[in-house]
Structure 1
Amino acid sequence: MGLITILLNIFLPPLSVALNKGIGMDLLINILLTILGVIPGIIHAFYVTSR
């Protein structure tokens, strides 16, 4: 995982997921989690980009 990915995970979680996995269910889940709370969105982004 590179520095750019880590920074995107922290500051723009949905963009990071979209760049790594494309537009799909992971992106929709991340958008929902980011809307509900930023921390769950960040955690999900790290989980998705580390797989």
Structure 2
Amino acid sequence: MWFFLLLLIVAAVLGVLGAVVEGLLYLLFIGAVILLVAFVVLAVQRSRRRTAR
């Protein structure tokens, strides 16, 4: 779960920097990709937890 939260924080920071700083729009897109990866990681963790029971 800590990895998911870390990915969320990184995605938020990159998203804000990409949206605010002119010329760094690519950081916004990288933040969006990291956000998607975070949700995939969360889904995999939950599915592993369900199958382990």
The TM tier, using the shorter chain, reads 0.3 to 0.5
- How does the TM-score come out when normalised to structure 2? 0.41
Instruction: Return the structure number with greater helix share.
Output: 2
- How does the TM-score come out when normalised to structure 1? 0.42
